[in-house]
Amino acid sequence: MADLNPLEALLRRLADGRIYNLRELAQALAIDEALLEQMLQQLEAAGYLRAVAGECQRGCAHCAYQAMCALTQGGRIWALTERGRQAAKQ
Amino acid sequence: MHQQGAPRPSLVQEKGEKILSIALAGQPNVGKSTVFNLLTGLNQHVGNWPGKTVERREGVFEHHGERIHLVDLPGTYCLTAASPEEMIARDYIVQNRPDVVMVVINAASLERNLYLVAELLALPSPIVIGLNMMDVAEQEGVLVDPQKLAAAIGVPVIPMVASKNRGVHDFLDAALKVAHEGLPQEPSRPEIRADHRDVLKAIEALLGEWVPAPYPADWVALKVLEGDTEITARMKAVTPPDIWARVESLLRQHEDALIAVAGGRYAWIRRVTQGALIKAHLGHVTLTQRLDAWATHPLWGLVVLAAVLAVVFGLTYAVGGPLQSWVERHIVGALAKGAARLLQNGPVWLSGLVVDGILGGVGTLISFLPILAIFFATMGFLEDVGYMARAAYIMDRFMHALGLHGKSFMPLFLGFGCNVPAIMGTRIIESHPSRLLTILLAPLVPCTARLAVLTVLAHALFPQKALLVTVSLTALPLLVLAGVGAFAQRFVFKGDQAAFIMEMPLYHQPNWRTIGIGIWQRLVAFLRKAATVILAVSVIIWALSTLPYGEIETSLLAAVGRFLEPVGALMGLEWRQVVAILTSFVAKENAVATLGVLYGAGESAEALSVVLPSHFTVASGLAFLVAEMLFIPCVATVVVIRQETGSWKWALGEIAFLALLAFLGGTITYQLVRLWPI
């Protein structure tokens, strides 16, 4: 991936449809975690990624077990969108 | 392209003397305000930017006999049009063309801070960099070489510790030198990817003559190519339609230009930091990193997860078990005895309703409250210290190894809380077949209510082996799910995968108050459910088990149960046990309540955990639990399946599929354990 810019390298890595840990992803791309966050926010603003954290709250306002929900644990989660998937494939 | 105050020509005359115009830029929390205060002292004015609620700070002061007008620009991470602060900062520099821009960056977070520098280099004013927080960076093991950074970027870089007033005046001196003499060399600027350079030139050529002064045409063209909404809208308004149509046509052909433009900036950051960022995070391993080396490891992470689950259930039984026996005997049992004595002269039906129906059903369930409280406490503890996100992460790796992965994972993981949001969460899956399959698989993830029933009944049926039974039967539906999913992956999910990126929150010390509130809320919600749905079902079950002759063996429920007995017989279950599984359709906890009513746990004042083992063998007990874990989800989940699939056909199909799966699972378990007793 030497000739790819870090943004392309990130998208290429996401093309395999796995779940990534922010820290490990930053290490794999050899960049600072804070810079990776900036890249993720930029890709989110452009529609390549979508922030999904907190989504479960809408369905379980009255649920006794809502605190068990994985998506309300404090960590942010991004999902690759269809646009992101197409860009990652290229 | 707003006007941010009157244009300030370079080195303007004010009352006969020269006044230098300097802008102070930087990302939030880099010590920019400290620098501003140190330089301006009391000579500062605070107001608002015209037409905005964003604070504008500026000041005039003297340095080496020169008067300087310093404007503190809002802190921004970049110069897009995403916020008013970003638009103010970039418009001020473009329109006012300060003699120099002093950029404060945080040495401890060098790479991210350089993104703003990359954007500022595209603007007309020269820049000087103040490398602040050198002390913090050193403490964190980040060593930055200012000379090498200056050589790589081609602008002066001054090391500083603004909080200790170190280097701030050198920073100003360097800025004044650049204001008077210009930059010593042409800075190294980010380049866009080679395959987009011609497009950029073409856009610049098309828009060039329409770009309003004082905006630089090359910067405007870059912003339009990058997809900057504000600049694009402005240019569309001032460009003739036929020219704009050609620009739009170029943009359509290069929809992913952002990757080429912004990617060029990230490549530039990598290039300029290569020699300058000497040792990043040397020897600085945080507690979170140390723990995550185990907790998120592909193999050890699974071992840790299994150990954590074993501790959760082990603690639940070790502490909750004795408490449960006490509550059963001394509270629910005593209540049942007291009620029976009190109502002995009243109508038979009333004593039956209270003792057998209400106390037998709801009372039995409530006696398990200590077990649930411990379970909720251990889960709450794991949530609060930050482990749950790791569990999700490691589970995906496990699923991936089994062939089930991609977008379906996240909704499925939600199912551990409750199947309802899991099914609603499938909305993130675009492909219809994949979404449908995920919806149909979601109920195989054991929800908390199902886990609570398993926890309670495993303790009652297999007090010596409760931990082993609970962990195995939690894993069972997941293995079934993985099996069905892996099969489906080959045919349905094929090519439909999408990555997730998870931020692992830092591990931290538990907040006992938060955990306590969480336990309380869940117990209250559980009791509310017991007082409504479970109470209603208990009363209905009692009524059906009493009517019409007052004898359970001749009751309506017995007639229904006996009709199903041949099915139950294959699983080693008698009709009462089959009915208990059926009533869990209303709410999972009803399985326990129904067993309480039908085995007269209230009437005999004997605890369900005492009565129950005599009605089950090892084989039938395991078969019962297997069937319960695989059975149809609760009615709320089925309603959501109908809502999300838009068809009763799928909802009913799901009921049939899971009923069959439960029957097969129960039958196979019973027959195998009978053949090879454990």
Average pLDDT over residues B538-551: 76
| Tally of structural domains, chain A | 1
Least confident of B13-27, B486-500, B545-559: B486-500
Give the tokens for residue B297: 């490891």
Residue of B nearest to A42 (CA): B262
With contacts defined as CB-CB under 8 Å, which chain A residues touch B293?
none
Q: What is the pLDDT of residue B569?
A: 93
State percent of chain B over pLDDT 70: 89
Q: How confident is the model at residue B284 (pLDDT cuts 50, 70, 90)?
A: low
Backbone angles phi, psi at A47, to 5 degrees: 90, 10
Q: What's the predicted TM-score (pTM) here?
A: 0.69
With contacts defined as CB-CB under 8 Å, which chain A residues touch B109?
32, 34
**Contact, A68 vs B448, CB < 8 A?**
yes
pLDDT for A74 beyond 80 = no
CB interface of A with B, residues 4-63, below 8 Å: 5-8, 11, 13-25, 30-32, 34-35, 37-40, 42, 45-46, 49-50, 52, 55-56, 58-60, 62-63
A1–chain B nearest CA distance, Å: 12
User: Using one digit for the tens of pLDDT, what is the confidence trace for A1-32?
Assistant: 457 889 999 998 888 777 788 888 998 888 88
Query: Is residue A64, in this structure, part of any structural domain at all?
Result: yes
State percent of chain B over pLDDT 90: 40
Chain centroid, CA A89 distance in Å:
16
Do A19 and B262 lie within an 8 Å CB cutoff? no
Q: How confident is the model at residue A57 (pLDDT cuts 50, 70, 90)?
A: very low
CA distance to B298, B507, B632, per residue, from B292 (Å): 11, 9, 37
Residue A40: which of B407, B409, B501 has the nearest Cβ? B501
A3–chain B nearest CA distance, Å: 10
Q: What is the pLDDT of residue B168?
A: 95
Q: What is the pLDDT of residue B533?
A: 73
Do B499 and A16 lie within an 8 Å CB cutoff? yes
Burial class (CB in 10 A: 0-12, 13-18, 19+), B131: buried
Q: Give the largest Cα separation in chain B, rounded.
A: 112
Give B568 or B368, the one with higher predicted confidence: B568
Q: What is the DSSP string of A14-71?
A: HTT--EEEHHHHHHHTTS-HHHHHHHHHHHHHTTSEEE-TTGGGGG-TT-TTGGG-GG
Nearest 10 degrees: Cα torsion A54, A60, A65, A69: -20
d(CA B587, CA B634): 5
The residue written with tokens 């005593």 in the block is: B334
Query: Is residue A42, in this structure, part of any structural domain at all?
Result: yes
DSSP state of B427: G
Nearest 10 degrees: Cα torsion B536, B537, B540, B541: -150
**Contact, B139 vs B106, CB < 8 A?**
no
Residue B502's DSSP bridge partners are A21, A77
Least confident of B11-20, B84-93, B273-282, B656-665: B11-20
User: Using one digit for the tens of pLDDT, what is the confidence trace for B355-372?
Assistant: 777 777 677 777 778 877
User: Using one digit for the tens of pLDDT, what is the confidence trace for B346-356?
Assistant: 787 787 778 77
Closest by CA to B425, choosing from B644, B647, B629, is: B644
A12–chain B nearest CA distance, Å: 11
Backbone angles phi, psi at B487, to 5 degrees: -65, -45
How many other C-beta atoms are found inside a 10 Å radius of the C-beta of residue B16? 5
Least confident of B281-285, B508-512, B534-538, B642-646: B281-285
With contacts defined as CB-CB under 8 Å, which chain A residues touch B418?
60, 63, 65-66, 68-69
Least confident of A71-80, B181-190, B251-260: A71-80
Average pLDDT over residues B176-190: 93
The residue written with tokens 């129960």 in the block is: B666
Q: What is the pLDDT of residue B606?
A: 54
Residue B63's DSSP bridge partners are B66
Q: Write down the mean pLDDT value for chain B.
A: 84
With contacts defined as CB-CB under 8 Å, which chain A residues touch B296?
21, 24
A32–chain B nearest CA distance, Å: 7
Query: Is residue A57, in this structure, part of any structural domain at all?
Result: yes
A89 touches chain B (CB under 8 A): no
Do B448 and A68 lie within an 8 Å CB cutoff? yes
With contacts defined as CB-CB under 8 Å, which chain A residues touch B389?
70, 73-75
Q: What is the pLDDT of residue B355?
A: 74
B526–chain A nearest CA distance, Å: 7
Q: What is the pLDDT of residue B489?
A: 67
Residue B393: which of A5, A21, A55 has the nearest Cβ? A21
Name the residue range of residue A24's domain. Answer: 6-89
Query: Is residue A51, in this structure, part of any structural domain at all?
Result: yes
Indicate the length of chain B as a whole number.
678
DSSP state of B123: S
Give the tokens for residue B385: 């210290």
SS3 B254: coil
Query: Which CATH number is A58's domain given?
Result: 1.10.10.10
Q: How confident is the model at residue B645 (pLDDT cuts 50, 70, 90)?
A: confident
Average pLDDT over residues B38-48: 85
Q: What is the pLDDT of residue B16?
A: 57
Query: Is residue A1, in this structure, part of any structural domain at all?
Result: no
Contacts of B651 (CB under 8 A, 6+ apart): B638, B639, B641, B642, B645
Q: What is the pLDDT of residue B318?
A: 82
Q: How confident is the model at residue B564 (pLDDT cuts 50, 70, 90)?
A: confident
Do B425 and A67 lie within an 8 Å CB cutoff? no
